[in-house]
Amino acid sequence: MESNGNSLEKHYRACHLCEATCGIEITHNKKEIISIKGDKKDTFSQGHYCPKALVLKDIYNDPDRLRKPIKRSGQNWHEISWDEALDTVVDRFASIRSNHGPDGIGSYLGNPCVHNYGMMTHAGHFLGLLKSKNRFSATSLDQLPHHLVGYKMYGHQMLIPIPDVDRTDFFLMIGGNPVASNGSLMTLPNAKKRLKAIGKRGGKLIVIDPRKTETAKIATEHHFIRPGTDAWFLLALLNVIFENSPSFSTNVSEYCKDQDKARTAVRGFTPEKAEPITGMSAGTIRRIADEFMTTEKAVCYGRMGVSVQRFGALCQWLIQLINIVTSNLDKPGGALFTLPAFDTVGGFGSKPGHFARWHSRVSQLPEFGGELPTAALIEEILTEGEGQIKGLFTAAANPVLTAANGTKLEEALSGLDFMVSLDFYINETTRFADIILPPTFTLEHDHYDIAFNALAIRNTAKYSPPLFPKTEGAYHDWEIYTELGKRLAAKLEVQPRQDASPDQMLDFMLQSGPYSAQAGHEQALSLGVLKKHPHGLDLGPLKPSLPDRLATGDKKINCAPELFLNDIARVVEELSPKATESGTLLLIGRRHLFDANSWLHNYPRLLKGKDRCKLLLHPIDADRLHIRDNEKVRIVSGTGSVATTVSITEDIMQGVVCLPHGWGHHRPGTGQKVAGQNAGISMNDVTDHLQVDPVSGNAVLNAVSVKVEKIRQ
């Protein structure tokens, strides 16, 4: 922290509102924030920041933000003491557990939990004592296929290869839009500049997407693809690559096994067969494959568009194979594993994951890493019988807007015996809680990016101290978990977990990690060292790390897990030319630079500009449906319907329509006034919670069949 001698001080920290972890400089007078801008000395983001960082001030000052626990009485809320709130939560959950067993209590952790390291280090202090198998999170609405593939191929759920963006010469991106997302499972500050640099150094950025996204508009090439058919495209690419590579000889061949099984599995998936299914020409597919193979430094990356569909896990496996068989895994300019200072793979207490140790009670969906797919949450609440969820704990979550079939989830939540939310807003989900426990805001506690440093395009570390002290009587989120755990442990007559604070745990991990004195590293990293570097430490570019980094028992890459091989038959069964000519439109989602799921709609500065909730529709489809620009339409699926206005554009593929994600603030009983006045519509009122990737259990939020009807005035 710096002072200018005029009562103003400068505070440096990482913005936590998306995955980019941009460094920011906050000018303040110890009581009030004067300005927020990019930290030009930040070793990673180098002064870049996006408009979302500015709302840190707005969230801190927001009168709608809860500061004390509240309890619901009918439709009304009133403040209660922390002791009453914590005791009530533990008493009610202990009673449910006694009467209905551990599985009678469910939990759901939202995406913001991984943006706050105290939530990650201490959730187990309470949730671990519940011993419930009904645990859910936003992971299975998003990146579960990545983690499953990392676990099956490389032996650890966090072994996810990261594109070496700054050194690659050929970036094949499928279903990703980092210019809007700031990178996703690819921590990438200043994504637009870094991606443009590929072309400036003579390379190529090719984007495959049903929409001409913000990223596609700066790409060397953009090609439309029919939503949900990416598996066919990837299989055809691999088919061409294998045709031109008689022997499996790559830079990582000696660390691979079952490569011949993979080669055999993709035979017959020719570009010519892929063309009528994907909408991409066979010639284009062959050319992309040839160029990818013959470029020295190339990388393939797929994100939301390929993850949240019926073939999410299969697609992510095929992407890994493409990088492996073209000698682009574990190579500069290709895809590499990170070596973060807080090591989520080789560090103390690191959990590689596990899969299908148990299944959901109703639909028999497999668990992963101790969590069931969120797609099962609704039926596990509504379906009677042993193991039915009677009580629910949510943290930093709003699944009514972000999970499939939000309307049905509302019905389920309204029938719970007891619900508690760790959150500082009454949102579309927490309005069903009996008690809301509000933690301090980020600026009132320290910050370190555990998850996103493990997914970054460079190895980096930065610690952010609190800007403001917490108000008297307030609790940090990790303190809430700790207090709940102490009380529940006393009820259950067991020992509570240790009370080491997040910063103490961080210091331990740094001093035992790969950049520590213990590891013989010249950096001798510790929390004390990080505190002396407010602009962060650059720990260098990603480096080849195989086979040492592999977490498989035999230190081999499993190129052909049976789980994925067996799923290839489903591609032929479900994705035939006939199956793709149903006559319905396929709905996809989109995000905006000013959005972060459902989080940031209560702040006027991010709501400026054009209506972001319009339905994108191709001109040919508009003519067929007799719809004109800006007319009102209804989008109808087998789940429900929503109404909005249309924006006719050639930026969307014919046969495809597009809605944003995370809106729908029209629900009654919420406590976010600005969001309520800018409600938008929820795409997830027309998605189906019963539609999943059957391999991973991940939700299907992409390639949803809908009809679009003009609303007659």
**Structural domains in the chain plus CATH codes:** 2-61 (3.30.200.210), 70-142+345-540 (3.40.50.740), 164-330+550-569 (3.40.228.10), 582-710 (2.40.40.20)
pLDDT reported for residue 576: 81
Structure tokens, 682: 């929820």
DSSP states of 281-323: -HHHHHHHHHHHHH-SSEEEEE-HHHHSSTTHHHHHHHHHHHH
Q: What is the DSSP letter of 498?
A: P
Q: Which residue has the tokens 């020719």?
A: 270
> Which band of pLDDT confidence, cut at 50, 70 and 90, is reported for residue 2?
low
Percentage with pLDDT > 90 across the chain: 93
Q: Which tens digit of pLDDT belongs to each residue from 88-100?
A: 999 999 999 999 9
Q: For 163-186, what is the mean pLDDT?
A: 96
Report the candidate in 139, 1, 47, 96 with the shortest Cα–Cα distance to residue 451: 139
415-435 pLDDT, tens digit per residue, is 999 999 999 999 999 999 999
Question: What's the confidence (pLDDT) of residue 246?
Answer: 66
The pLDDT value given to residue 81: 98
Given this model, what pLDDT does residue 713 score? 72
Residue 407 in contact with residue 685, Cβ under 8 Å? yes
Task: Name which of 396, 355, 402, 348 is nearest 374 in CA terms.
Answer: 402
Length of the chain (residues):
713
DSSP-derived 3-state class of residue 72: strand
| Tokens 């890459």, residue located | 557
Q: Taking all residues of the chain, what is their mean pLDDT, rounded to a whole number?
A: 96
Interval 215-247: pLDDT, tens = 999 999 999 999 999 999 999 999 999 998 866
Residue 712 pLDDT grade (very low, low, confident, very high; cuts 50, 70, 90):
confident
Mind listing the pLDDT tens digit for each residue in 261-303?
999 999 999 999 999 999 999 999 999 999 999 999 999 999 9
Write the pLDDT tens digit of every residue in 504-561. Answer: 999 999 999 999 999 888 889 999 999 999 999 999 999 999 999 999 999 999 999 9
Q: What is the mean pLDDT of residues 327-351?
A: 95
Q: What is the per-residue pLDDT across 191-218, written as a single tens digit (0 to 9) for each?
A: 999 999 999 999 999 999 999 999 999 9
Which pLDDT value is given to residue 347? Answer: 87
pLDDT more than 70, % of the chain = 98
User: CB 565: neighbour CB atoms within 10 A?
Assistant: 16
Q: How far apart are CA 682 and CA 671, in angstroms?
A: 18
**Rounded Cα distance, 261 and 560, in Å:** 6
pLDDT confidence band for 579 (50 / 70 / 90): low
pLDDT at 569: 96
- pLDDT for 187 equals 97
Backbone angles phi, psi at 89, to 5 degrees: -60, -50
